[in-house]
């Protein structure tokens, strides 16, 4: 039988402390606050990682042992107790986080004696808090995975699954280091933040929380503390720890954002405001509500948008001829139709957080193309003797279109090179037998480009949703083992260093024997993030020389796409794969209109093509 879960029966306000992180000065400040509020040690709970980045692991352990009654085991305690090789935080291999953590881990391992390690080994991985009739599971990261990062932006379905796995009315967690409180279908997810490191909000303050019962539920106060960070930083420098950590104590900004989802990256440097949330707990039935079809996370704190992006100026991208400053707008002429894309329909088996064309299981704004409609355009290419060598199929997910395999086979039979964009998940995997037959017949002329947004599950699923990484990787491995010519599409939306990102993919590909050169821009395409609401420079005629680029460098100099709008009698030609809904970029029903000059009159033209240097084709 598993060991019994220790239970705290609180009869008064409870203080929750996240990650002391070997920061002795911060820990003293938090405990002084508990004393000021008259909260005894029996009502102080720590969510783990007593030891981490700071200079004083032994002294911090001694102080916490003496003054905090209830501490869950964090991954740092688990690693130090077992004499592991690293902190077990789950940082990506080769990342800055991994490099920096190696230094503090070595320092802590040297400083801690056998008694401290034995104490760590005996810590429980979970404590239950009973407060105001509610039972809350206090854990470090996830219920079963101690080092799982769960942030405010983490999918609400993931939080719901963790709460259900716990069997409690809610969860109090740590590990991610950022404070927030949410209601997940009426149940609670709370993170007090950390006391050993600032909250990446541009201030040196540290965070803790106070939970108390009141009329209508349980109040959760997110409280910020000032403390003697100067002494803590000086101690880190004397200990020879990485300068980056000492700087973070002063600036309030983490030295790396490699583990953060995009929403938390965009909130970097935006100061948090202390505040109080009310979780309207109404008895044991709160945790037994019928599961809603769409799981909703209701933010309780912080409230309001926290985003550092600058919004697009309203006067930009309005006039096809002139920019907002009156300069001649850049125009691009079709030099040759090297690539013709077919959007097979916007229906997809998943809904990405920021799909370039808003594909989802419900979006059918672009309906399925038929085999006959595709053949019409291929016939036109042949009649006009166009120099089109490549056909691309995109979506949505092309394999959801019932005519797709026929389209694919017809196109390859005409001698074209074909590039298929797919997430390699179930819709593709249902067609394995026929897909292998097509590959055996047409071989190298077929390339499958699989969308694997990042080499880590966490960041891929930040964009594509829970449980999407493994099926995609499984599909990619299946394609590799069956001899398909492959490419992979990733994203640079998290601001990773490109070299480090390519190295991460290279390790993943080597581990799974995937024959893709991660350092080749043709085989691993890294697409920039697109947000049409964020500010970006308009492209003028003068920009070509200033940027050292040419109109021939961008997609609309060599490609067009065929789409069919819902309710339309026939497909139309559009200038760009990324602008299927903008009528300004529609060119007509046939390829005879394709050569029309295109004004770079959309934020995507600037961000993706010109400044981002990206192209959807395989060339």
User: pLDDT band at 287, cuts 50/70/90?
Assistant: very low
Residue 615 has pLDDT above 80, yes or no: no
Cα 206 from chain centroid (whole Å): 25
Per-chain mean pLDDT for the chain: 94
Write down the pLDDT at residue 51: 97
Write down the pLDDT at residue 91: 80
User: pLDDT band at 101, cuts 50/70/90?
Assistant: confident
Query: Per-residue pLDDT averaged across 191-203, rounded?
Result: 97
Residue 290 has pLDDT above 60, yes or no: no
Give per-residue pLDDT as tens, 374-431: 999 999 999 999 999 999 999 999 999 999 999 999 999 999 999 999 999 999 999 9
The pTM assigned to this predicted structure is 0.89
pLDDT above 90 as % of the chain = 84
User: pLDDT band at 536, cuts 50/70/90?
Assistant: very high
pLDDT above 70 as % of the chain = 98
Residue 289 has pLDDT above 80, yes or no: no
Give per-residue pLDDT as tens, 134-168: 999 999 999 999 999 999 999 999 999 999 999 99
By three-state DSSP, how is residue 232 classified? helix
The three-state DSSP-derived secondary structure of 507-563 is HHHHHCCCCCCCCCCCCEEEECCCCCCECCCCCECCHHHHHCCCHHHCHHHCEEEEE
The DSSP annotation for 403-442 comes to THHHHHHHHHHTT-EEEEEE--SHHHHTTHHHHHHHHHHH
Write down the pLDDT at residue 145: 95
Write down the pLDDT at residue 1: 63
Write down the pLDDT at residue 511: 97
Q: Which domains does the chain have, with CATH numbers?
A: 12-283+295-301 (3.60.21.10), 331-610 (3.20.20.70)
* Residues 451, 390, 568, 603, CA torsion sign: positive
Residue 292 has pLDDT above 70, yes or no: no
What dihedral do alpha carbons 200, 353, 343, 528 form, nearest 10°? 0
């Amino acid at each position: 039988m598993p060991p019994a879960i220790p239970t705290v029966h609180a009869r008064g306000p409870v203080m929750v402390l996240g990650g002391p992180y070997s920061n002795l000065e911060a820990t003293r400040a938090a405990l002084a606050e508990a004393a000021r509020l008259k909260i005894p040690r029996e009502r102080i709970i720590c969510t783990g990682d007593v030891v981490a980045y700071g200079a004083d692991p032994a002294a911090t352990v001694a102080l916490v042992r003496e003054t905090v009654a209830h501490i869950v085991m964090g991954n740092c305690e688990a690693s130090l107790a077992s004499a592991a090789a690293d902190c077990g935080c789950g940082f990506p291999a080769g990342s800055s986080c991994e490099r920096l953590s190696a230094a503090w881990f070595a320092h802590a391992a040297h400083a801690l004696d056998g008694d401290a390690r034995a104490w760590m080994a005996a810590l429980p991985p979970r404590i239950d808090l009973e407060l105001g009739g509610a039972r809350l599971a206090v854990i470090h990261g996830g219920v079963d995975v101690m080092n799982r990062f769960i942030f405010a932006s983490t999918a609400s379905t993931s939080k719901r699954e963790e709460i259900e796995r716990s069997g409690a009315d809610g969860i109090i967690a740590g590990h991610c280091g950022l404070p927030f409180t949410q209601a997940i279908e009426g149940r609670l997810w709370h993170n007090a933040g950390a006391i050993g490191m600032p909250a990446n909000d541009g201030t040196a303050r540290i965070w803790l929380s106070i939970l108390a019962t009141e009329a209508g539920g349980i109040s959760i106060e997110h409280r910020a503390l000032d403390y003697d960070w100067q002494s803590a930083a000086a101690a880190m420098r004397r200990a020879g720890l990485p300068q980056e950590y000492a700087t973070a104590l002063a600036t309030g900004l983490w030295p790396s954002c490699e583990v953060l989802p995009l929403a938390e990256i965009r909130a970097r440097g935006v100061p948090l405001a202390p505040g109080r949330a009310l979780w309207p707990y109404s008895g044991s039935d709160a945790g037994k509500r019928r599961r809603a079809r769409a799981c909703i996370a209701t933010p309780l704190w912080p409230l309001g948008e926290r985003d550092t992006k600058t919004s697009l100026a309203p006067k930009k991208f309005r006039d096809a001829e002139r920019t907002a400053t009156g300069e001649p707008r850049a125009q691009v002429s079709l030099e040759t139709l090297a690539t013709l894309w077919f959007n097979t329909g916007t229906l997809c088996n998943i809904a990405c957080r920021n799909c370039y064309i808003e594909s989802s299981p419900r979006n059918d704004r672009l309906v399925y193309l038929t085999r006959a409609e595709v053949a019409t355009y291929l016939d036109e290419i042949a009649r006009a003797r166009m120099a089109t060598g490549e056909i691309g199929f995109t979506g949505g997910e092309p394999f959801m279109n019932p005519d797709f395999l026929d389209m694919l086979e017809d196109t390859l039979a005409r001698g074209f090179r074909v590039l298929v964009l797919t997430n390699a998940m179930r819709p593709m995997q249902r067609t394995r037998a026929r897909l292998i037959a097509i590959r055996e017949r047409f071989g190298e002329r077929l390339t499958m480009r699989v969308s694997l947004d990042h080499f880590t599950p966490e960041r891929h699923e930040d964009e594509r949703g829970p449980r999407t990484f493994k099926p995609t990787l499984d599909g990619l491995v299946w394609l590799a083992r069956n001899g398909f010519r492959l490419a992979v599409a990733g994203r640079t939306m998290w601001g990773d260093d490109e070299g480090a990102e390519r190295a991460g993919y290279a390790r993943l590909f080597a581990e799974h024997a995937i024959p893709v050169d991660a350092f080749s821009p043709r085989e691993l395409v890294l697409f920039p993030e697109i947000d049409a609401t964020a500010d970006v420079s308009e492209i003028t005629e003068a920009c070509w020389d200033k940027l050292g680029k040419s109109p021939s460098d961008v997609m609309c100099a060599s490609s067009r796409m065929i789409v069919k709008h819902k309710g339309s009698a026939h497909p139309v030609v559009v200038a760009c794969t990324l602008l299927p809904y903008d009528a300004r970029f529609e060119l007509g029903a046939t390829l005879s209109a394709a050569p029309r000059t295109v004004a770079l009159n959309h934020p995507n033209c600037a961000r993706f093509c010109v400044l981002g240097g990206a192209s959807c084709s395989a060339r």
